[in-house]
Structure 1
Amino acid sequence: MKQNKYDDPEFFASYSQMARSVGGLEAAGEWHAFRAMLPELQGRRVLDIGCGFGWHCRYARERKAESVIGIDLSENMLARARASTDDAAIEYRCMAIEEMAFARESFDVVISSLALHYIESFESICRNIYRFLAPDGTFVFSVEHPIFTAVAAQDWVYGTQGERLHWPVDHYQSEGVRQTRFLDNDVVKYHRTFASYIQALLESGFTITGVSEPKPPQQMLDQIPGMRDELRRPMFLMIAATKPESQIGAHK
Structure 2
Amino acid sequence: MKQNIYDNREFFEYYTNMRDTGVTANDFIEQPALKALLPVLKGKSILDLGCGAGAFAKYCIEHDAFHVTGIDISSNMINLAKEKNPDEKISYLCSPFEDLDLSGNQFDLVVSSLAIHYIKDYTSLVKKVNELLKDNGQFIYSTEHPIVTARKEMNNWAKDKEGNKLHWALDHYQEEGKREQHWVIDGVIKYHRTVSSLVNGLIDNGFALEKMVEPQSTAEGLEKMPKIVNEERRPSFLLLKARKINTN
Q: What is residue 168 of structure 1 aligned with on the other side? A: 169
Q: After alignment, is 146-155 or 36-45 more displaced?
A: 146-155
Aligned length: 246
Distance 1:22 1:55 in 2: 14
Asked if 1:199 corresponds to 2:200, the answer is yes
1:171 aligned partner, one-letter code: H
Partners of 1:225 and 1:232 lie apart in 2 by: 14
The answer to whether the 8 A contact 1:140-1:241 is kept is: yes
Q: CA separation in 2, counterparts of 1:156 and 1:66?
A: 44
> What is the alpha-carbon distance in structure 1 between the residues aligned to residue 8 and residue 86 of structure 2?
26
Write out aligned runs for 1:57-76 (5 A). Answer: 57-76=57-76
**Aligned ranges for residues 164-243 of structure 1 at < 5 Å?**
164-243=165-244
Looking at structure 2, the residues matched to 141 and 235 of structure 1 have their Cα atoms a distance apart, in angstroms, of 14
How much has 1:164 moved relative to structure 2? Answer: 1.0
Residues 33-48 of structure 1 mapped to structure 2, 5 A cutoff: 33-48=33-48
Counterparts of 1:75 and 1:36, CA distance in 2: 29
Code of the residue aligned with 1:72 in structure 2: it is D
Residue of structure 2 in register with 1:130 after alignment: 130
Does the Cα contact within 8 Å between 1:24 and 1:55 map onto a contact in 2?
Answer: no
> Which whole-Å CA distance do the structure 2 matches of 1:206 and 1:22 have between them?
37
Q: Distance in 1 between matches of 2:137 and 2:23?
A: 26
2:29 aligned residue: 29
Q: CA deviation at 1:106?
A: 1.4
> 1:140·1:238 contact (CA, 8 Å) conserved in 2?
yes
**Identity across matched positions, percent:** 39
- Superimposed CA distance per residue, residues 157-198 of structure 1 (whole angstroms, 9 cap, x where no aligned partner): 221111111111101000000111212433000000000001
Structure 1 residue 223 displacement after superposition: 2.9
Separation of aligned partners in 2, 1:97 and 1:197: 17
State the 4+ residue runs in structure 1 displaced beyond 3 angstroms: none
Q: Deviations along 1:115-143, whole A, 9 cap, x unmatched?
A: 01001111110000000100010100000
Q: Provide the rounded CA distance (Å) in 2 between the counterparts of 1:166 and 1:122.
A: 30
Give the letter aligned to residue 42 of structure 2.
Answer: Q
Query: SS of the counterpart of 1:240?
Result: strand
Going from structure 1 to structure 2, the CA distance change for 1:23 and 1:11 (only over 3 Å counts) comes to same
Alpha-carbon contact 1:138-1:242 (below 8 Å) kept = yes
Kept in 2, the 8 Å contact 1:11–1:185? The answer is no
What is the Cα deviation at residue 27 of structure 1?
2.6
Distance 1:85 1:12 in 2: 17
Worse-superposed segment, 123-132 or 182-191: 182-191
| CA distance 1:79–1:116, change in 2 (3 Å) | same
1:72–1:97 contact (8 Å) kept in structure 2: yes
Paired position in structure 1 for 2:152: 152
Structure 2 CA distance for aligned equivalents of residues 183 and 41 of structure 1: 36
Name the TM-score, length of structure 2 as normaliser: 0.95
User: Could you tell me which amino acid in structure 2 is paired with residue 75 of structure 1?
Assistant: S
RMSD: 1.6
Residues 71 and 94 of structure 2 are in contact (CA less than 8 Å); yes or no, is this contact kept in structure 1? yes
Give structure 2 stretches of 5+ with no counterpart: none
| Matched residue SS, 2:204 | helix
**Which residue identity lines up with residue 168 of structure 1 in the other structure?**
A
Residues 4-39 of structure 1 show CA distances to partners (whole Å, capped at 9, x for unaligned) of 011111111111111x34439983422211111011
Q: Distance in 1 between matches of 2:100 and 2:152?
A: 28
Distance in 2 (alpha carbons) for counterparts of 1:5 and 1:116: 14
**Letter of the aligned partner of 2:22 in structure 1?**
G
